[in-house]
Amino acid sequence: METDKNTVVPGRLVVELCGLALKNPVMTASGTFGYGEEYAPFCDLNRLGAIVVKGLSLEPRLGNPPPRIMETPCGMLNAVGLQNVGVRAFIAEKLPFLRQFNVPVIANIFGETIDEYRRVTEILTRAAGVHAIEVNISCPNVKKGGVAFGAHPDAAAAVTEAVRGETDLPVIVKLTPNVTDITEIARAVESAGADAVSLINTLTGMSVDIERRRPHLANVTGGLSGPAVKPVALRMVWQVVRSVQIPVIGIGGISTAEDALEFLITGAKAVQIGTTNFIHPAATMEIIDGIEDYMIRHRIGCMKDLIGSLQIVF
Amino acid sequence: MAEKPSIAIGQVMENRSVAPGHFLLTIRLPLSFATPIPGQFVMIRDPDRDEPLLPRPISVYGFQREEGHAILNLLCRVAGRGTSLFSRMNRGGALTVLGPLGRGFTIDPDVRQLLLVAGGVGAAPLTFLLQEGSLPEPHSGKRQVTAYLGAGTAELLTGLNRFEGFCDLRTATDDGSRGYHGNVTECLALDLAGYDAKSTLILACGPGAMIRSLALLLRDTRIRCQVSLEERMACGVGACLGCAVAIQEGEGRTGYRRVCKDGPVFDIGELLWNSPEESMSLS
């Protein structure tokens, strides 16, 4: 069927992801958009594809001592240490605000034990207004947890299986780039029942104050994010897209619609916008508009025709 | 109640060096930009540059509305690459301004004696308090305002002209080139016994060492004191949790608060000190 591809088709940007109908493929990345409320003065939250909230644990967490952040060339290091209000306070105090909007809420979770992942999932599944779970198996900041699960296929699969067994909500597993072969982990979580994978989390980095001969971060190392990581993220998305059957959500240094389009063309079914929110609080809105402009300009009628349309022909 | 923050493109009307390493930016903004409360800050960034990546938090030094525009004054110290680039901006240059942000100073109507204590560029948010209309009226009678300004040398006493004639003024310099020879907390300590604890409020801003010494000085008094803190920030709106400060939450519980959203103004008694001489959070 021939449609007029020059007009704005309502739903031109619609993406179906694990049974969720997203208005567009643009989500916020966990930890960069608070619980939504922080950016409500600058963004129309209803326009977002989905909101991924700050990572939640079973109990509240204080986080790391300051200094927690440091700007680096075209990026930033953070070692926040997964500070959060805890899953119960999230449901009582933060979720009611998000329920006002017509936008899927994806709860990002983490734990230090498999049982903790299971219990957080169980609590969130019973709460009204959570549409999917994103499982952080990759945060590099906490000595005991995170990296141990995400760096080993068996551990990554065990966490995925535990979360999967606890919920009917879509389960997205967020992968760490701090591994030798990310496709191995992606395949492991796919086999364990993940509905989608999102990648990449931050790359572990470090920065030193040479005058004081001290690390800039109290935690010594931190997670690198921002434009600096984009080529690495894109390469990993490309590798994973070719390795698994489940949808891939692209994350890493996306600042503009052009950046988002690179990930979509490479095969990401959706993207998450992270550090750029700190720099341009309305970045997500501009990225959505920019993707739509591109679709119109290139006469692409639906996201299906764009996603994974990369041609390697020279 | 603070007004809603917004993102605006401002235009540099003037950029003037006011002391070695210190500059005063005057930025023209749309009239719709909300009126800041003293102690609030803005995040500024050069929209024509890809780096530095992050905006920089700067406290409000002055704000007026005139001829269909809002005029924002920012007094800055060159602290790194970001502020160094701002110091070299030309008239007519564009700046993205996000704000006003954070929780400013709160002055109860029962306060009869206001003490403004500043170290170096920390004078900026306190200067804004002295601007006409910024200070709420006291319940009854007159309110006495006394400023204690400290800096390394006389020429680093920035914004002095905005204090002279507007309040009682005491100055302190590390090299003795003007006023008390020593730091500003020592200068305040000499007068402290003369102030009535019940009706006095101290508003302070300055380097970590000054805040620490002030906390020590006030530990055994009942004088109320609010301090405006400085911390590296990414977002400025409470999302990134980068600007954490350790806080005493009562009943022996401690936690981190966001300088950008829960502050930058805190009661000095809330700040958590590892030991009387050392803070977990102020460097």
pLDDT at B143: 84
Indicate yes or no: CB of B244 within 8 angstroms of CB of A83. yes
pLDDT above 90 for B281: no
Contacts of B10 (CB under 8 A, 6+ apart): B27, B28, B29, B44, B72, B94, B95, B96, B97
Does residue A140 lie in a domain region?
Answer: yes
B55 Cβ under 8 Å from any chain A Cβ: yes
Q: What is the C-alpha to C-alpha distance for residues B37 and A101, in angstroms, rounded to an integer?
A: 31
pLDDT at A94: 96
| Rounded average pLDDT per 10-residue block, chain A, 314 residues | 48 94 97 95 96 95 94 96 94 96 96 92 96 85 57 92 97 96 97 98 96 96 97 98 98 98 98 97 97 96 96 88
In the block, which residue shows the tokens 């007004």? B3
pLDDT above 50 for B277: no
pLDDT at B29: 97
From chain B, pick out residues whose CB is under 8 angstroms from the CB of A83. 241, 244, 256
B241 Cβ under 8 Å from any chain A Cβ: yes
Interface of A with B in 247-276 (CB under 8 A): 275
Reported in sequence order, the residue ranges of chain B that DSSP labels E, i.e. its strands, are 6-19, 22-30, 41-45, 56-59, 62-66, 69-77, 94-101, 113-119, 144-151, 168-173, 180-181, 200-205, 224-228, 244-250, 253-258, 265-267, 273-275, 278-279
pLDDT at A141: 39
The structural domains of chain B, with segments of one domain joined by +, span 6-101
B235 Cβ under 8 Å from any chain A Cβ: yes
pLDDT at A2: 44
Q: What is the C-alpha to C-alpha distance for residues A200 and A251, in angstroms, rounded to an integer?
A: 5
| Bridge partners, A78 (sequence order) | A69, A223
**CA–CA–CA angle B199, B202, B208 (5° rounding):** 160
pLDDT at B139: 66
Query: Sheet of A171-174: strands edge to edge?
Result: A26-28, A270-273, A248-251, A196-199, A171-174, A132-136, A105-109, A51-52
pLDDT at B254: 84
Indicate yes or no: CB of B7 within 8 angstroms of CB of A68. no
Does residue A212 lie in a domain region?
Answer: yes
Could you tell me which residue, B135 or B218, shows the higher pLDDT?
B218
Residue of A nearest to B45 (CA): A279
Instruction: Please name the member of B50, B256, B261 whose beta carbon is closest to the beta carbon of A62.
Output: B256
Residue of A nearest to B255 (CA): A62
Does residue A243 lie in a domain region?
Answer: yes
Total structural domains in chain A?
A: 1
Has domain B6-101 been given CATH number 2.40.30.10?
Answer: yes
Does residue A36 lie in a domain region?
Answer: yes
Longest dimension (CA), chain A: 67
CB contacts < 8 A (A, B):
105
Indicate yes or no: CB of B239 within 8 angstroms of CB of A278. yes
Indicate yes or no: CB of A278 within 8 angstroms of CB of B261. no
pLDDT at B280: 44
pLDDT in tens, B100-141: 999 999 998 889 999 999 999 999 999 998 887 767 776 667
Residue of B nearest to A61 (CA): B255
- Full residue range of the structural domain in which residue A202 is found: 15-305
Does residue A6 lie in a domain region?
Answer: no
Contact A50, A40 (CB under 8 A): no
Does residue A197 lie in a domain region?
Answer: yes
Does residue A130 lie in a domain region?
Answer: yes
List the single best residue of A279, A280, A284, A286 to mutate versus B (max B Cβ within 10 A): A279
Indicate yes or no: CB of A83 within 8 angstroms of CB of B234. no
Which positions of A are annotated as active-site residues?
A: 139
List the single best residue of B33, B50, B240 to mutate versus A (max A Cβ within 10 A): B240
Confidence at B167, pLDDT banded by 50, 70, 90: confident
Residues of chain B with pLDDT > 70: what percent? 93
pLDDT in tens, B38-87: 999 999 999 999 899 999 999 999 999 998 999 999 999 999 999 999 99
From chain B, pick out residues whose CB is under 8 angstroms from the CB of A79. none
At A210, which CATH number? 3.20.20.70
Contact B113, B196 (CB under 8 A): yes
Give the HSE-up count for residue B96: Cα atoms under 13 Å, Cβ half-sphere.
Answer: 19
Mean pLDDT over each residue of chain B, to the nearest integer: 90
Q: What is the C-alpha to C-alpha distance for residues A231 and A209, in angstroms, rounded to an integer?
A: 27
Residue B146 sits at φ, ψ, to 5 deg, of: -125, 130
A185 Cβ under 8 Å from any chain B Cβ: no
Instruction: Please name the member of B236, B237, B245 whose beta carbon is closest to the beta carbon of A66.
Output: B245
Instruction: Please name the member of A33, A226, A282 whose beta carbon is closest to the beta carbon of B7.
Output: A282
